[in-house]
Structure 1
Amino acid sequence: MRARLLVFPIKGKNWCFSRSVDPFAAQSPSGVTPTTVRGLWKKISSESKPINANAELLVDFISDKMNKAWMGLEKAPDGSIKNKIHGLGLKLLARVKPSEIFLKSISKEVTSVQVTYPPSLDPRLVRRRLRHIAMSGTILHKKYLMGSVTLLPLTSAFMILPLPNIPFFWVLFRTYSHWRALQGSEKLLKLISNQSSPQKPNSADDADESNNNNEKPEQESRSPTCVLLPSEELYKLLGEASEEGLDEETIVEICKSFHLNKIDVLKYRNLV
């Protein structure tokens, strides 16, 4: 599966890194993930899989349960305890860095990436910034993952209280989030190591390339996992940005044109 990534400056030295979501793509991990503990145990015990595969299955099972519980809180009536917990959760989620959300979007199903960027940027700089965010993500999220795992036994002690154990579920979510971001960082770093040239060759170059293909079939048969693609449409939407960065109207237009999450993109503009 190819993922479409968008890279563009949004305010000063702050760049936006976001994945374009296909509105027609149906992502349903619950279709292959067991919905009950008995089904999970049966799937793990009946199939001989590596420990890593069983661990991912367990994480997907927990994630599916957390998503269903979150949707239940979202539908709670106004003024109820569940509704207040949902409001608190939204405030906590607003503090999650956009780079973490971006890295989490690079799932294990992604086999290649298409990087769309304005032609005013140097493609080598675009690739370098992508590599930097992937390398820093492997370091940061590995450290935060270990810290979150350490806090899980401590927050589980609040289970004795009659109130919902919000600290435990928040730390559990952060553990899952850092683990996904770490997996995405490693995946992105691997994908961008094999890129194609953003320039389109002319007819003469095509003939030379055809001759080279006959001489080196093995080298050319390997399709790149990272394609850099300049976009004139994105360049026109960006226009002349002021010192304060892109305004919200421009960001909304970019999000509509390239199917981005407006809330995640706006976070990049508010970074210090």
Structure 2
Amino acid sequence: MSNKLRLVALPIKATTATTATPQITLLSQPPTVALQENYLTKTINWCDRQWNKLSDSADGHWKKRVWNGGESVMDRVPYTEWALKHIEPGQSVAPNSTHKLDILYPKSVISDKDLLNMVKASFISRAARHRRSMWIALFIAPITLPVAIIPVVPNLPLFYVLWRAWSHWRAHRGAVYLGRLLANNQLNPRESDELDRFISTHPNLTTKDINTLSKILKLPPQATLEAHRAVKQIDSDSKRQE
């Protein structure tokens, strides 16, 4: 494992008659040595803990229903957004330096050139979209304030739009960061024999396959969850197109 962030380019959907390259998602592998948390990270982690506490509520309780609904909403957030928002520049190489960010990939299904083209087309190109969506969410936020006068019920619409604004900001930051590294030739496709062997026998990944691969690559829980979401979303898109 590295003491710097590295990415895993995970092919989710194999090539077809109409696609020359597989669909991929980018999974973040943070450094093995934990970095000191800043105030923003501490706040985010605290919010995550408070949110997950809702899942411990009894079935049928409004807290459990809110948690179930929230998780369903999160599953519909595009997998590309999840990938971008978990790229932490502070854990990785500095732009305009001599260091490079490794992207592990399976050489049997995608070339290094195609990989960089896909990173640009599917992830970096979304920077402006996420910036625009962030400002739209912030503009909508004050409109939800009247809900706060309702007793007992929390202002879920406000929480949602603020969460979406934060999510889009993080994704925008990740996309801009990757764009700077690509422009400076600091993205380094790196062949992974482990990933290559697994993908060669599992061309169309299932959630069960993801769990197995996660153990092989020692992926963190968040990356495993993001891979699950990517598989479900791409499978769902494929069924709608049939």
TM-score range, shorter chain: 0.7 to 0.9
Residue aligning to 2:34: 26
Residue aligning to 1:177: 167
- 1:231: Cα distance to partner? 1.3
Residue aligning to 2:102: 114
- 1:88: Cα distance to partner? 1.6
Return the match for 2:113 from 124, 127, 132: 124
- 1:83: Cα distance to partner? 2.1
- Whether contact under 8 Å (2:25, 2:227) holds in the other structure is yes
Q: Which whole-Å deviations, capped at 9, do the CAs of 1:154-185 have from their partners, x for residues lacking one?
A: 11221111111111101111111101111111
Partners of 2:42 and 2:177 in 1: CA distance: 21
The structure with the largest alpha-carbon Rg is: 1
Residue aligning to 1:47: none
Which one is further off, 121-130 or 63-72? 63-72
Q: Secondary structure at the residue paired with 2:68?
A: helix
Change (3 A) 1:267 1:61: closer
Residue aligning to 1:158: 147
Partners of 2:35 and 2:82 in 1: CA distance: 17
1:14 corresponds to 2:23: yes
- Whether contact under 8 Å (1:20, 1:258) holds in the other structure is no
Return the match for 1:234 from 179, 190, 195: 195
Residue aligning to 1:267: 229
1:266 counterpart letter in structure 2: H
Partners of 2:123 and 2:135 in 1: CA distance: 18
Change (3 A) 1:153 1:69: same
Matches within 5 A, 1:118-267: 118-120=106-108, 121-162=110-151, 163-195=153-185, 225-241=186-202, 245-260=204-219, 261-267=223-229
Task: Give every structure 1 segment of 4 or more consecutive aligned residues whose post-TM-superposition deviation is greater than 6 Å.
Answer: none
Return the match for 2:47 from 66, 71, 76: 66
1:82 corresponds to 2:44: no
Unaligned runs of 5+ in 1: 34-56, 196-224
Q: Secondary structure at the residue paired with 1:10?
A: strand
Provide the TM-score with structure 1 as the length reference.
0.70
1:93 corresponds to 2:99: no
Partners of 1:65 and 1:230 in 2: CA distance: 37
Partners of 1:78 and 1:21 in 2: CA distance: 35
Provide the TM-score with structure 2 as the length reference.
0.78
- Aligned CA-pair RMSD: 2.3
